[in-house]
Amino acid sequence: MTASTTQTLVVIGNGMVGHRLVEILRDSSWRIVVFGEESRPAYDRVALSSYVDSWSSADLELPALTGCELRLGEKAVSVDRARRVVVGASGVEISYDALVLATGSVPFVPPVPGRDLPGCHVYRTIDDLDEIRATVEAADRPGRRSGMVLGGGLLGLEAANALRGMGVSPHVVELAPRLMPIQVDDGGAGLLKRLVEKLDLTVHTGTSASSIERDGTRLVARLASGLELDLDVVVFSAGIRPRTDLELGLELGPRGGYLVDAACRTSDPHVFAIGECAAVEGVTYGLVAPGYSMAEVVADQISGGTRVFPGADVSTKLKLLGVDVASFGDAHAATEGALEVVVNNAVAGTYSKLVVSDDARTLLGGVLVGDASSYLSLRPLVGKEVPAALLQPGGAVDVEMPADAQVCSCHAVTKQTITDAISSGVACDVAELKACTKAGTGCGSCVPMLKKLLTECGVEQSKALCEHFTHSRAELFEIIRATRVPTFSALIEKHGTGRGCDICKPAVASILASLGNGHILGETQVSLQDTNDRFLANLQRNGTYSVVPRIPGGEITPEKLIVIGEVARDYGLYTKITGGQRIDMFGATVDQLPEIWRRLVDAGFESGHAYGKSLRTVKSCVGTTWCRYGVQDSVGLAIELELRYRGLRSPHKLKSAVSGCARECAEARGKDFGVIATENGWNLYVGGNGGFTPRHADLLVSDVDTAELIKVIDRFLMFYIRTADRLQRTSVWLDGLEGGLDHLREVVVDDKLGICAELEAAMESHVSDYADEWRGVLEDPEKLARFTSFVNAPGVPDPTISFRAERGQRVPVSLGIPEVVR
Amino acid sequence: MIVCDFDVLRPEQGVAALLPDGSQVAVFLTADGTVHALDNIDPFSGAAVLSRGIVGDRGGVPVVVSPVYKQAFELATGKCLEQPSVSVAVHGVRVRDGVVELT
């Protein structure tokens, strides 16, 4: 073998910190070999509880490592420091010039009798969660399953959240007198307990488990307080211990961990330790940000640098079980003479405590529970002069941040560094800031602050719709409304450039339709429509379409159900009940659509607009007509609303629901506008969403009668249609609306802008102009002629479409997709 | 091979035509009167739907955007703008005596 100048770095451990180190050194001259005990690639352990949402480990995976030799599923079994060789479980020997220990930690399991029984688990890895799930699924308890989480710290609450996600009601047992004893004080923890107990958690503080026993298929835990818990599963999450089972003959820190100096180097100059297994100058850290910081230090050191560990900011901000919790600086007022300013709003469910120096001039730390939105502005002020306004009750938290304040604590990036990058023109958006300063590439919690700094530095976040228009959608809406431009061509000629594209054409088509410009397949509009609108059906993966007739409120006669069944049978359509209480028929070709719709229209159906950015359905529960608990006629109202707003084109789809009582069976708070019956009338909620980012709708007005309700919905919808961005659901629109819900209420309830009469008139004109789009096609030979697969062979079926049978129905045969693409 | 009468085409819209060998072409008329023909199969989904895409321009270059996953293909070259290693075949096309023909 020829002599080589390439040096070898061996990393033992493929967790988040080890992964970060390899990423940093990816383009260096080092040859890198990684030993990872787990057989899967490195993943985001911080987000472990979200694994329960999808049970897909791919969702947690970190970016794949390149440029290194990754030995997954191979534990490093020994190290010979004299020969500088690591031996893997397979017997492989790798010589190193530098060795980095990134072995992480192991869960601490308190010595409770019975802790090894089947059904007792730890909470650390994806495999642990899979095992917990197996235990939960094997439990044969009727009704809701019951679990115990030992440990009420950050990790314990995460574990409790994961159990909830599996349909288990968790008991959380914490030895300390409060939840999250390290981060949060008594006042904050009291509120936290109250908020999480609303979520089906039972909290037991100031006690511990004294034994766990098996009783048939159950587990029984006895607490020191005398309480007995009947359980299906037990999860230990009472803390972690540095993992040092790989014996290297190196000194350990006072609380475990490989002892290293500020350069993260052990007493052996070739060996480093980073992350949770390292005791930097004797101190261990259980958070990922200090671990990342250590990875930076080692990367710099082995490249000949002199960087040392700057000490860690152990501030935390997180959302636990939907509750914001943040803690920073001297959260427990341990500094001598420290003063506390506490605002505990039990009604609003928020708690904030600021810790200041004895002269009330310097901010030392704080605790926030319930609403942690001020964390990003407050944390950088620690150690700095505290603005007087902050100490007033309800004091403004939007304070100017000093230039040397740290914005990104993962990468120790100051505000000055960021504003320099912006003002020198190096970075014009968040992505560029991330690339050149590294800010925001760690935990990501400072990204909103990066956006704010960009705005403060005068960088306009472009609102241009696309390359053809510099206007936002709302601006285009106003132009079209004011000038009554009737066509896209006229609009782009006067106000845009080029010929348009798949972004601006459908957006403008939607605006034209919202303002009432006749059939959406009219001569000047048809070429603007996305394929779904162009064929008034939903394109599916094999090029066929699905058909959804409107079933207002989900109410349908047996006769109409039979028609749907007959049509589906005659055309071989796959049928499925939708989430919006109607029926979807899949697999229709372009040529079949008019024939299918002729039969549906003849039977009294009309378009359901499942294809449009428009009202989908108004779902309902059965209401007072049948239900013993209903207090209002929810079906009747749902039908009235669905018929009123059908066909209304909007920036994105609109979903709605009406529940006949507070039990909320129609899930109205997950809708763009949802109505819930009260003893006295209706409550209207707006801005709800399921989907990618679920959001509960906010209460806009309460106890109103039907006429008032409809008036407010009319105004709300028209205001949204006028002002939202393209493809912006009401939830995102409302979150971004300046002044938020209060402003919305001022506009659509109090008529502060004086536009309500106009909004109502616009809705009246929509209602009176409504016509069924499918009937419009069937009555117009020119529109009908467009429903042809082949211009030179009308009626000939598309040879690429074929079906196979699955569970008694036709489904598409998957299409051969060229290798190059995937 | 004859595809259709020129009159059938509408500016910035596509139509699909079936070829004798069972394959399909998508034929487009741009606003300046040029006719283009591409393979109708969208390489990203395998579905024969390019003729149903929205026609427009990217930086002045005429494109059709696949209705399935929204990639843009240059009408003149068939090249995918998002992934230049992927393209769809371009067919020769002309208009003679008011009739659109593949050459």
Residues 6+ apart with CB under 8 A from A757: none
Helix (H) or strand (E) holding A449: helix A447-456
Q: Are A791 and B53 within 8 A, CB to CB?
A: no
Q: Are B67 and A531 within 8 A, CB to CB?
A: yes
Query: B13 and chain A: CB distance < 8 Å anywhere?
Result: yes
Q: Which SS3 state, helix, strand or coil, does residue A89 take?
A: coil
pLDDT, mean of residues A546-570: 98
Helix (H) or strand (E) holding A213: strand A209-215
Question: Where is pLDDT greater, at A605 or A412?
Answer: A605
Pairing type for strands A98-101 and A8-12 reads parallel
Tens of pLDDT, residue by residue over A165-175, are 888 999 999 99
Determine the CATH number of domain B2-102: 2.102.10.10
Q: How many angstroms from the chain centroid is the CA of residue B77?
A: 10
Q: Give yes or no for residue A821 having a pLDDT over 50.
A: no
Q: How many angstroms from the chain centroid is the CA of residue A25?
A: 31
Cα separation, B44 vs A542, whole angstroms: 11
Q: In which region does residue A114 sit, left (phi positive, over 0), alpha (psi from -120 to 50) or beta (all else)?
A: left
Three-point CA angle A252, A254, A258, nearest 5°? 25
Tens of pLDDT, residue by residue over A625-659, are 999 999 999 999 999 999 999 999 999 999 999 99
Pairing type for strands A233-236 and A145-150 reads parallel
Q: Are A821 and B83 within 8 A, CB to CB?
A: yes
Q: Are A502 and B56 within 8 A, CB to CB?
A: yes
Residues in A 778-807 with any Cβ partner in B closer than 8 A = 789-793, 796, 798-801
User: Band of the pLDDT at A520, cuts 50, 70, 90?
Assistant: very high
pLDDT, mean of residues A108-130: 93
Q: How many angstroms from the chain centroid is the CA of residue A137?
A: 26
Q: Give yes or no for residue A264 having a pLDDT over 90.
A: yes
> Which of A17-21, A418-422, A438-442, B9-13 is least confident?
A438-442
Helix (H) or strand (E) holding B26: strand B24-29
Q: What is the pLDDT of residue B37?
A: 97
Q: What is the pLDDT of residue A449?
A: 78
Q: In this structure, are residues A656 and A641 in contact, taking their beta carbons and an 8 Å threshold?
A: yes
Rounded to the nearest angstrom, the minimum Cα separation between B38 and chain A is 14
Average predicted confidence (pLDDT) for chain A: 90
Q: What is the pLDDT of residue A573?
A: 97
Q: In this structure, are residues A114 and A211 in contact, taking their beta carbons and an 8 Å threshold?
A: yes
User: Band of the pLDDT at A715, cuts 50, 70, 90?
Assistant: very high
Q: Is the dihedral of CA A196, A200, A206, A212 positive or negative?
A: negative
Is position A410 annotated in a ligand binding site?
Answer: no
Cα separation, A80 vs A94, whole angstroms: 10
Scanning A147-227, the segments in alpha helix (DSSP H) are: 154-165, 186-197
Q: What is the pLDDT of residue A329?
A: 87
Q: Domains (ranges, CATH) in chain A?
A: 8-106+242-302 (3.50.50.60), 120-238 (3.50.50.60), 401-461 (1.10.10.1100), 473-529 (no CATH), 620-771 (3.30.413.10)
Tens of pLDDT, residue by residue over A521-532, are 998 899 999 999
User: Band of the pLDDT at A209, cuts 50, 70, 90?
Assistant: very high
pLDDT, mean of residues A206-235: 92
Q: What is the pLDDT of residue A26?
A: 84
Pairing type for strands A105-107 and A240-242 reads antiparallel
Residues 6+ apart with CB under 8 A from A435: A427
Q: What is the pLDDT of residue A769?
A: 94
Q: In this structure, are residues B53 and A532 in contact, taking their beta carbons and an 8 Å threshold?
A: no
Of A343, A335, A344, the residue nearest A363 (C-alpha): A335
Chain A residues with beta carbon closer than 8 angstroms to that of B56: 468, 498-502, 504-505
pLDDT, mean of residues A584-599: 97
Query: Of A530, A792, A820, which has the smallest distance from its Cβ to B17's Cβ?
Result: A792
3-state secondary structure A728-787: CCHHHHHHHCCCHHHHHHHHHCCCCCCCHHHHHHHHHHHHHHCCCHHHHHHCCHHHHCCC
pLDDT, mean of residues A122-143: 89
Query: B82 and chain A: CB distance < 8 Å anywhere?
Result: no
Burial class (CB in 10 A: 0-12, 13-18, 19+), A436: middle
Tens of pLDDT, residue by residue over A752-805, are 999 999 999 999 999 999 999 999 999 999 999 999 999 999 889 899 999 999
Chain B residues with beta carbon closer than 8 angstroms to that of A801: 48
Tens of pLDDT, residue by residue over A676-713, are 999 889 999 999 998 767 889 999 999 999 999 999 99
Pairing type for strands A803-806 and A809-812 reads antiparallel
Q: What is the pLDDT of residue A318?
A: 77
Q: Which SS3 state, helix, strand or coil, does residue A451 take?
A: helix
Rounded to the nearest angstrom, the minimum Cα separation between A42 and chain B is 28
Q: Give yes or no for residue A459 having a pLDDT over 90.
A: no
Domain ranges of chain B: 2-102
Residues in A 503-542 with any Cβ partner in B closer than 8 A = 504-506, 526-531, 534-535, 539, 541-542
What is the residue-wise DSSP string for A517-564? -S-TTSTTTGGGS-HHHHTTSEE-TTS-EEE-B--GGG---HHHHHHH
Kindly state the tokens that stand for A331: 């959260």
Chain B residues with beta carbon closer than 8 angstroms to that of A529: 54
Query: Of B10, B27, B49, which has the smallest distance from its Cβ to A527's Cβ?
Result: B10
At position A771, the amino acid (one-letter code) is A
Only one residue has tokens 């026993």, namely A213
Kindly state the tokens that stand for A554: 């989900």
Q: Give yes or no for residue A2 having a pLDDT over 50.
A: no
Rounded to the nearest angstrom, the minimum Cα separation between B20 and chain A is 11
Chain A residues with beta carbon closer than 8 angstroms to that of B15: 791
Q: What is the pLDDT of residue A819?
A: 44
Query: B24 and chain A: CB distance < 8 Å anywhere?
Result: yes
Tens of pLDDT, residue by residue over B9-30, are 999 999 999 999 999 999 999 9
Tens of pLDDT, residue by residue over A353-405, are 999 988 888 889 999 998 887 887 788 788 888 877 776 655 445 566 778 77
Q: Give yes or no for residue A617 having a pLDDT over 60.
A: yes
Q: How far is CA A277 from CA A103, A627, A635, B53, in A?
A: 6, 60, 60, 56
Query: Of B48, B56, B86, which has the smallest distance from its Cβ to A798's Cβ?
Result: B48
Is position A408 annotated in a ligand binding site?
Answer: no
Q: Which SS3 state, helix, strand or coil, does residue A253 take?
A: coil
Largest Cα span, chain A: 89
Tens of pLDDT, residue by residue over A29-73, are 899 999 999 888 899 888 888 888 778 888 788 888 888 899 999
Only one residue has tokens 């940000």, namely A289
Model-level pTM? 0.57
Query: B99 and chain A: CB distance < 8 Å anywhere?
Result: no
pLDDT above 90: percentage of residues in chain B: 89
Tens of pLDDT, residue by residue over A341-352, are 888 888 888 898
pLDDT, mean of residues B46-64: 95
Q: What is the pLDDT of residue A452?
A: 79
Q: In this structure, are residues A331 and A181 in contact, taking their beta carbons and an 8 Å threshold?
A: no
Cα separation, A354 vs A382, whole angstroms: 10
Q: Are A501 and B57 within 8 A, CB to CB?
A: yes
Q: How far is CA A750 from CA A359, A596, A648, A680, A730, in A?
A: 46, 47, 24, 21, 20
Nearest CA in chain A to B68: A541
pLDDT, mean of residues A402-414: 78
Helices A740-748 & A706-723, crossing angle to 10 degrees? 120
Q: Give yes or no for residue A1 having a pLDDT over 50.
A: no
Q: Are B43 and A502 within 8 A, CB to CB?
A: no
Nearest CA in chain A to B53: A531
Please report, to the nearest 10 degrees, the dihedral formed by the alpha carbons of residues A185, A190, A192, A198 taken in order: 170
Strand order in the sheet with A85-88: A76-80, A85-88, A93-95
Cα separation, A186 vs A331, whole angstroms: 11
